[in-house]
Amino acid sequence: MQVLADQTNQWYFVLQSLFHTIFGKYGLVYGVQVFPVKWQLDEKKTGNHSGGYYGFVTFYSSLSAARSKDDLNNKVVIEGNECKISFAKRKKKVQESTILHFTRCRELANYYLGFNGWSSQIKLLYEEAGQADSANDTPSVKYVCVVRLDFPHQKLHTDGMGAWQESYIKQDPVSRGRAVCKCKKLAFQRALENSFSRVLLIILSNGKVTVEIDTTKPDILPQELQEEEAVIKVNNLDEDPGLDGEKDVEVESIAVTMEDLDLNNLDILQQLEVDI
């Protein structure tokens, strides 16, 4: 591991903060990385080396990155030095999408939806029977949590489940209490991350933002919550309550009408036979 000098470390934090300030006004910044670089300059004439820095600014939205590059005219001036701006080229293609950390999820939702644009609540939190380690006979505790995300403006919601198992020392009662607290905390965080993994933020070029739920990902929820989610319940009835009298009257009137029609048809047939 190479340790940079104090002056280099100072410039690292200065540039990192400066890049956040410059590019942050174009959109939410995911992260900033700054690296020192050295290159040889007129070594044969002066014998001196010159150095500098390069950095990566990562946005959550590609629209924000393109807007910053165009608005800054592909360059930014820092301490009188011109820094060129270009899109980074990936050496390796991203094969699978990874789930964001729950702090990143909250940051993203608050930025684009506002504090009143979404909410979360715990639907279930219960303990499952832990399995002891067969080699060390170590007891463990496991908690399962289900978190629901609500988006009131779009009238949408989605659920996510998370679980965590932690071992503890059987002879130490405090150890189990700490394990329970850790399980509850991490199970909630995992459930929140899984809930956000099904959320699609649609950001338009005019700045408008809407939300959709990715229904291609299956819901992995406990049986208790699945029964609670029943939307329609059908009860079969043998009789129609309160309408028996009206029904009898309608059937009777229809029977009388059909009888009259039959008599009229017979009279018509008899008249035709007489004429023939």
Band (pLDDT 50/70/90 cuts) for residue 149 is very high
Band (pLDDT 50/70/90 cuts) for residue 256 is very low
Assess contact for 68 and 23: CB atoms under 8 A. yes
Residue-wise pLDDT for 59-105, tens only, equals 998 889 999 999 998 888 887 878 888 888 876 666 667 788 999 99
* pLDDT: which is higher, 142 or 97: 142
| 3-state helix vs strand vs coil in the chain, percent to 5 | 35, 25, 35
Q: How many other C-beta atoms lie within 10 A of the C-beta of residue 100? A: 16
Distance CA 180, CA 30 (A): 32
115, pLDDT greater than 80: yes
**Structure token digits, residue 212:** 């959709």
Instruction: Please give the single-letter amino acid code of residue 69.
Output: K
Instruction: Please classify residue 57 by burial: count the beta carbons closer than 10 Å to its beta carbon, then call 0-12 exposed, 13-18 middle and 19+ buried.
Output: buried
Q: What pLDDT was estimated at residue 7?
A: 46
Distance CA 56, CA 52 (A): 14
What are the start and end residues of each CATH 3.30.390 domain in the chain? 102-228
Alpha helix stretches (DSSP H) within the chain: 6-24, 62-71, 102-113, 173-196, 223-228, 244-275
Name the nearest CA neighbour of 162 among 105, 87, 247, 220.
220
Lowest mean per-residue pLDDT among 8-12, 25-29, 124-128, 200-204: 8-12
> CB neighbours of 108 closer than 8 A, spacing ≥ 6?
28, 60, 100, 201
CATH code of the domain made up of 6-84: 3.30.70
Q: What pLDDT was estimated at residue 178?
A: 93
Lowest mean per-residue pLDDT among 122-131, 182-191, 241-250: 241-250
Q: What pLDDT was estimated at residue 70?
A: 92
Domain 102-228 -> CATH class: alpha beta
Name the nearest CA neighbour of 67 among 34, 108, 31, 25.
25
What are the start and end residues of each CATH 3.30.70 domain in the chain? 6-84
